[in-house]
């Protein structure tokens, strides 16, 4: 009996164990299932779910890549590499010592690995240029070809040509050179006025060395109308982040239609290399300069006839202006287009032909790029009211200073002068109430340098006639002919003296 009863109980225990095991097993599977998802969510690098590729995105990127490649292929043959060679005379720097009489002048030189050179050296230069005509007209920067004795142009197909300078324009740092070639591929001109900040562009040139010729870089137009950079007299630069380096100067900045929108000119850098800020001369300005050089043999510029300065925050506050924009007229030249149009001192020029004016350099550049006899429209703030003033521009001549701060350069004698301002009086320690004009620059190897004129000299009389300002100086110098004598009455430091010389030919 006991054995049977034990057997029945055993089967009951076995059945119960199996049932409990099934429940537990089912419970384990259920617990694992609900914990699997949170565990996966906490994993730092989960396995990405398989996704279909973004075919539309890839297609757009491929189209942009194809556009870059097509533009580069189309434009590159129109960009050239420019090699310059300049003869430089080198004088021996070693002037001698008391030991020379005992040892000879070359005694110490033998101990130096790099003795001072003698005679003439060849200074080599590298730049870029843009073919703008099928018959060999090339646009580049003035600083690329300046003072060069020999210029060579290399095309993309490897052909090389000797080049001649057709004309230069230092105030905009542009130059036109020519080669004896036909059937070239010119680059079409775009419209830099319509170029927008953010537009994609390509820069093409020969940076750093000839082995990197026809380098293509991409970027956007970062800004427009950059002025006051200090690179040239007239500035209205396009700023770009397309990589530009030494050697790119004179090369092409093109849009995605393959049109020329700028001539690459310079970079802002703290390292000597590109850091993301490059500047190009707008093609509209470059084309105007080029056309004048080719058709007229010189650059013809508009002339307004006022002295101006930029509005500073202090001036804006004193004049109760809303913003520190525009330029204020400090003086109107007699007989100038500005005087004839009724412009006055203390007028604030806000707009030119509807374009907002930001500073004096910008306005100066705009006026200079407009042909003489063109009637422009100025928006002027006078006595708190905005007025519209039409002005028919005159022509800027070498002896007339347009939109200036009272400066003029007379290239015939190599002299730069300026009206005496508080800043210049302080700089050159000039006494208050001194009449005349101050010399702010003397070009080497000119008659002014030969007779000993110096920066800081004050010209008080020319040929016994009193000089009160730059206008007086211009009137006299404009009538002086080559071969005539000039006598300056000068003040230097605490003393006064005369300087006389013969005016050289043009």
The CATH number linked to 462 is 2.30.42.10
Distance CA 349, CA 497 (A): 42
Distance CA 168, CA 297 (A): 10
Together in a domain, 160 and 206? no
Residue 72: burial class (beta carbons within 10 Å; 0-12, 13-18, 19+): middle
Together in a domain, 266 and 206? yes
Distance CA 221, CA 197 (A): 5
- Out of 5-9, 35-39, 245-249, the most confident range is 245-249
Q: Any idea which of 120-124, 258-262, 334-338, 432-436 has the lowest mean pLDDT?
A: 120-124
Q: 43: left (phi > 0), else alpha (psi -120 to 50), else beta?
A: beta
3-state helix, strand, coil in the chain (%, to 5): 25, 35, 40
Q: According to the model, what pLDDT value does residue 49 have?
A: 59
- Final residue of a structural domain among 277, 296, 315: 296
Reference 438, options 419, 453, 415, 423; nearest CA is 419
Choosing from 128, 143, 232, 358, which is the catalytic residue?
A: 143
Overall average pLDDT of the 325-333 stretch: 84
Reference 153, options 85, 87, 83; nearest CA is 83
More confident residue, 485 or 382: 382
Q: Give domain status of residue 171, yes or no.
A: yes
Active site residue 358: no
Active site residue 32: no
Who contacts 484 (Cβ-Cβ below 8 Å, separation ≥6)? 502, 503
Together in a domain, 342 and 427? no
Together in a domain, 411 and 428? yes
Q: Give domain status of residue 60, yes or no.
A: no
Q: 256: left (phi > 0), else alpha (psi -120 to 50), else beta?
A: alpha
Q: Does 436 have pLDDT greater than 70?
A: yes
Q: According to the model, what pLDDT value does residue 407 have?
A: 53
Q: Does 194 have pLDDT greater than 50?
A: yes
Together in a domain, 331 and 384? yes
Distance CA 459, CA 473 (A): 9
Q: Does 191 have pLDDT greater than 60?
A: yes
- Out of 31-35, 96-100, 350-354, the most confident range is 350-354
Together in a domain, 216 and 269? yes
Distance CA 112, CA 106 (A): 10
Q: Does 345 have pLDDT greater than 80?
A: yes
Distance CA 476, CA 484 (A): 12
Q: Give domain status of residue 28, yes or no.
A: no
Q: 276: left (phi > 0), else alpha (psi -120 to 50), else beta?
A: left
Q: According to the model, what pLDDT value does residue 125 have?
A: 87
Overall average pLDDT of the 152-160 stretch: 92
Q: Give domain status of residue 152, yes or no.
A: yes
- List residues bridging with 390 in a β-sheet: 377
Per-residue model confidence as pLDDT tens digits over 2-21: 444 444 554 454 445 544 45
Overall average pLDDT of the 219-223 stretch: 91
Return the percentage of the chain with pLDDT > 70, whole number. 78
Together in a domain, 258 and 310? no
Together in a domain, 249 and 325? no
Q: Does 127 have pLDDT greater than 80?
A: yes
Distance CA 20, CA 18 (A): 6
DSSP 135: T
Whole-number mean pLDDT of the chain? 79
Q: Give domain status of residue 12, yes or no.
A: no
Q: According to the model, what pLDDT value does residue 186 have?
A: 94
CATH code of residue 226: 2.40.10.10
Q: Does 411 have pLDDT greater than 80?
A: no
Q: Cβ distance 304 to 288 under 8 Å?
A: no
Tokens, residue 364: 């100066």
Structural domain that includes position 343: 302-395
Overall average pLDDT of the 414-437 stretch: 85
Q: According to the model, what pLDDT value does residue 225 have?
A: 82
Q: According to the model, what pLDDT value does residue 399 have?
A: 55
Overall average pLDDT of the 103-126 stretch: 56
Per-residue model confidence as pLDDT tens digits over 303-327: 998 888 888 787 777 777 777 888 8
| E-strand stretches of 454-494 | 458-462, 465-466, 485-492
Together in a domain, 286 and 309? no
Distance CA 304, CA 341 (A): 10
Distance CA 336, CA 402 (A): 10
Q: Give domain status of residue 282, yes or no.
A: yes
Q: Does 157 have pLDDT greater than 60?
A: yes
Choosing from 78, 128, 169, 173, which is the catalytic residue?
A: 173
Q: Any idea which of 100-114, 212-226, 442-456 has the lowest mean pLDDT?
A: 100-114
Q: According to the model, what pLDDT value does residue 409 have?
A: 60
Residue 170: burial class (beta carbons within 10 Å; 0-12, 13-18, 19+): middle
**Per-residue confidence at 410, pLDDT binned at 50, 70, 90?**
low
Choosing from 249, 310, 369, 418, which is the catalytic residue?
A: 249
Together in a domain, 206 and 238? yes
Q: According to the model, what pLDDT value does residue 197 have?
A: 93
Q: Give domain status of residue 438, yes or no.
A: yes
Together in a domain, 438 and 490? yes
More confident residue, 15 or 328: 328
**Per-residue confidence at 82, pLDDT binned at 50, 70, 90?**
very high
More confident residue, 12 or 54: 54
Together in a domain, 158 and 83? yes
Q: Give domain status of residue 14, yes or no.
A: no
- Final residue of a structural domain among 364, 395, 426: 395
In our burial notation (b when 16+ CB lie closer than 10 A, e otherwise), range 32-52 reads: eeeeeeeeeeeeeeeeeeeee
Distance CA 240, CA 251 (A): 13
Active site residue 9: no
Q: Cβ distance 265 to 141 under 8 Å?
A: yes
Q: According to the model, what pLDDT value does residue 401 have?
A: 46
Structural domains in the chain (count): 4
More confident residue, 375 or 361: 375
- Final residue of a structural domain among 395, 415, 437: 395
- Which residue blocks in 327-400 are alpha helix, DSSP H? 337-341, 360-368
């Amino acid at each position: 009996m006991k054995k049977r009863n034990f057997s029945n109980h055993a089967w009951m225990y076995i059945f119960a164990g199996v049932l409990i095991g099934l429940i537990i097993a089912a419970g384990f599977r259920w617990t694992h299932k609900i914990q699997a998802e949170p565990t996966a969510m906490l994993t730092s690098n989960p396995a990405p779910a398989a996704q279909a590729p973004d075919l539309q995105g890839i297609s757009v990127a491929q189209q942009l890549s194809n556009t870059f490649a097509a533009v580069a292929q189309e434009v590159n043959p129109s960009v050239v590499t420019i090699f310059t060679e300049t003869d430089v005379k080198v004088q021996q720097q070693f002037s001698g010592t008391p030991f020379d009489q005992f040892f000879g002048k070359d005694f110490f030189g033998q101990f130096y690995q790099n003795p001072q050179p003698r005679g003439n050296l060849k200074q080599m230069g590298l730049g870029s240029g843009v073919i703008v005509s099928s018959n060999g007209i090339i646009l580049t920067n003035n600083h690329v070809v300046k003072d060069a004795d020999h210029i060579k142009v290399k095309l993309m197909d490897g052909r090389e040509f000797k080049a001649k300078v057709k004309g230069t324009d230092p105030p905009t740092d542009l130059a036109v050179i020519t080669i004896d070639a036909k059937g070239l591929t010119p680059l079409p001109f775009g419209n830099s006025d319509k170029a927008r900040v953010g537009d994609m562009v390509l820069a093409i040139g020969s940076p750093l060395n000839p082995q990197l010729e026809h380098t293509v870089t991409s970027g956007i137009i970062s800004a427009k109308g950059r002025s006051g950079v200090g690179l040239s007299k007239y500035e209205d630069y396009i700023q770009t982040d397309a990589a530009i380096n030494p050697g790119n100067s004179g090369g092409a900045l093109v849009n995605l239609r393959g049109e020329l929108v700028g001539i690459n000119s310079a970079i802002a850098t703290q390292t000597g290399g590109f850091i993301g800020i490059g500047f190009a001369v707008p093609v509209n300005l470059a084309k105007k300069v080029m056309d004048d050089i080719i058709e007229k043999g010189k650059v013809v510029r508009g002339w307004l006839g006022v002295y101006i300065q930029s509005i500073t925050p202090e001036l804006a506050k004193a004049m109760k202006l809303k913003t520190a924009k525009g330029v204020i007229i400090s003086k109107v030249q007699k007989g100038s287009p500005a005087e004839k149009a009724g412009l006055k001192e203390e007028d604030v020029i806000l707009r030119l032909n509807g374009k907002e004016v930001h500073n004096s350099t910008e306005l100066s550049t705009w006026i200079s790029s407009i042909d003489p006899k063109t009637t422009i429209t100025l928006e002027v703030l006078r006595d708190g009211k905005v007025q519209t003033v039409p002005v028919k521009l005159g022509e800027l001549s070498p002896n007339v200073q347009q939109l200036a701060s009272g400066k003029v350069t007379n290239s015939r004698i190599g002299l730069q002068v300026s009206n005496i301002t508080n800043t210049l009086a302080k700089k050159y320690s000039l006494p208050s109430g001194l009449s005349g004009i101050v010399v702010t620059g003397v070009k080497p190897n000119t008659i002014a340098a030969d007779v000993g004129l110096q920066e800081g000299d004050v010209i008080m009389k020319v040929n016994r006639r009193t000089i009160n300002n730059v206008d007086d100086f211009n009137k006299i110098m404009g009538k002086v002919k080559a071969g005539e004598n000039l006598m300056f009455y000068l003040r230097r430091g605490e003393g006064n003296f005369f300087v006389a010389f013969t005016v050289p030919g043009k």
